[in-house]
Amino acid sequence: MHEQMTAPRRAFLRLLALGSGALAACRAKAPAPLPSLLGAPISPYGERSPFVHAARQVSDRSRTPEQASSLTPLADTYGVITPSSLHFERHHSGVPKIDPDQHKLMIHGMVDRPLVLTVDEVRRLPSVSRIHFVECSGNSGNGWQPTPRPTVQGTHGLTSCSEWTGVKLSLLLDEVGVQKGASWILAEGADPAKMTRSVPLSKAMDDAMVVYAQNGEPIRPEQGFPLRLFLPGWEGNANIKWLRRLKVVDQPYQTREETSKYTDLMPDGTARQFTLVMDAKSVVTHPSGGQKLAGPGFHEISGIAWTGRGRVTRVEVSTDGGATWKDAQLQEPVFSRAHTRFRYAWDWNGQEAIVASRVTDETGYVQPTREELVAVRGVNSNYHNNMIQAWKVKADGSVEYAVI
């Protein structure tokens, strides 16, 4: 027998038909789907905001892209740590691509037990982490003449500061057993130029390190991946990148880098050699060349100070071209042989002002003026320019290079 459709069932079916028809009609008239309000997904290795553009700049003394320097944009960094991607570079034959599993560190020469270590073995040894600056001794070389540069990146950009992790060189030397009569170490890199420098044994046994990490991750290729010799407070060139060999010897080897280069010509024609330590130095990064202050009123004068001889103990700021000086605040903690941030609250009255900083370090050394330094060194020494740097803030707020 066939089912008789009841009235309620008929009504229901009619309603369903109406509803689905209505729904179909509804769908036909529906507005376009709304865009997602969700942000970008998670990612394996972060990038900075697309609205942030600070970048390293090629130094104008660069000969080729591989025999070149790139400068840290000091006016665009904060605190004391330089972002790893913005750490300055100075290369003599480009950045080699080294497989850490193939790389070796050899320690030999006047030692009881010559040793070859893999990178993994170096990483297994007891480690230390230290915050230290690196500065090329050619930094601010354009200041000798002096030659104006538009920005603090141009005048001072061959310096950066990172946290470095590695093994003490003294530990490695104890493992190999340094022989009596040894007094220097020849350090050699695995770049195409096989950069070499002679390092006094006393520094090697003091605070020297073989580092493999920078700011919490393996050291960047531009800073020497996988291993770098690190000599706190000493000129950048001696901190041999892509370190492959340490030979313990009894004299300096007079390498090209410590004779033809990185020696300081004096007015009498003699040249200072093994000028390894970086003298105390500071520079105001805000306000600095190329910036524009929005107008009179409150501005925080800020900058960095450092010394290869230990800790910065005082930074003074002048806003009248060096006529008077006032103490700035130092960011705590102050690390030894590291960038130290200083800050000074300034109420700008809108008139032209010449701003500068002056550092004193723990030895009592005070950063010299141009006049003081040139009186001793002349203008042709090329390296180790640590003189006071000034910036002129004009009435319209623009800032340019100045000499005091």
Return residues touching other proteins (CB under 8 A).
Answer: 63-64, 67, 92-93, 106, 108, 113-118, 121, 124-125, 174-176, 186, 188, 192-194, 196, 244-245, 247, 249, 251, 253-256, 259-260, 263, 265-277, 279, 363-366, 368, 372-373, 376-377, 380, 384
Q: Are strands 57-58 and 68-71 parallel, antiparallel or unpaired?
A: antiparallel
Nearer to other proteins by Cβ, of 271 and 334: the residue is 271
Nearer to other proteins by Cβ, of 15 and 376: the residue is 376
Least distance between other proteins and beta carbon 128 (Å): 15
Contact 153, 165 (CB under 8 A): no
Tokens, residue 262? 């990185």
Nearer to other proteins by Cβ, of 378 and 397: the residue is 378
Distance CA(205)–CA(103), nearest Å, equals 24
- Tell me if residue 85 falls in helix, strand or coil: helix
Tokens, residue 29? 């008239």
Nearer to other proteins by Cβ, of 279 and 316: the residue is 279
Q: Which strand (E) or helix (H) includes residue 20?
A: helix 7-29
Least distance between other proteins and beta carbon 137 (Å): 11
Nearer to other proteins by Cβ, of 60 and 121: the residue is 121
Of 272, 358, 343, the closest CA to residue 301 belongs to 343
Least distance between other proteins and beta carbon 373 (Å): 6
Nearer to other proteins by Cβ, of 77 and 263: the residue is 263
Nearer to other proteins by Cβ, of 87 and 90: the residue is 90
Distance CA(168)–CA(229), nearest Å, equals 10
Nearer to other proteins by Cβ, of 206 and 352: the residue is 206
Least distance between other proteins and beta carbon 335 (Å): 21
Least distance between other proteins and beta carbon 92 (Å): 8
Least distance between other proteins and beta carbon 398 (Å): 32
Least distance between other proteins and beta carbon 158 (Å): 19
**Phi-psi group of 171: left, alpha or beta (phi > 0 → left; psi -120 to 50 → alpha; rest → beta):** alpha
Q: Which strand (E) or helix (H) includes residue 318?
A: strand 312-318
Residue 86 Cα to chain centre, angstroms: 6
Least distance between other proteins and beta carbon 394 (Å): 31
Least distance between other proteins and beta carbon 48 (Å): 34
201 DSSP assignment? H
Least distance between other proteins and beta carbon 390 (Å): 18
- How far, CA to CA in Å, does 208 sit from each of 73, 211, 213, 267? 27, 9, 15, 33
Nearer to other proteins by Cβ, of 245 and 392: the residue is 245
- Tell me if residue 51 falls in helix, strand or coil: coil
Alpha-carbon dihedral sign for residues 188, 165, 111, 249 = positive
Q: Which strand (E) or helix (H) includes residue 372?
A: helix 370-377
Nearer to other proteins by Cβ, of 198 and 223: the residue is 198
- How far, CA to CA in Å, does 350 sit from each of 160, 292, 319, 345, 354? 32, 12, 12, 15, 12
* Burial grade of 233 (CB within 10 A; 0-12, 13-18, 19 or more): buried
The alpha-carbon radius of gyration of the chain (Å, integer) is 30
Nearer to other proteins by Cβ, of 57 and 67: the residue is 67
Distance CA(266)–CA(286), nearest Å, equals 33
Least distance between other proteins and beta carbon 225 (Å): 19
Q: How many other CB atoms are found less than 10 A from the CB of residue 66? A: 14
Phi, psi (deg, nearest 5) at residue 134: -125, 135
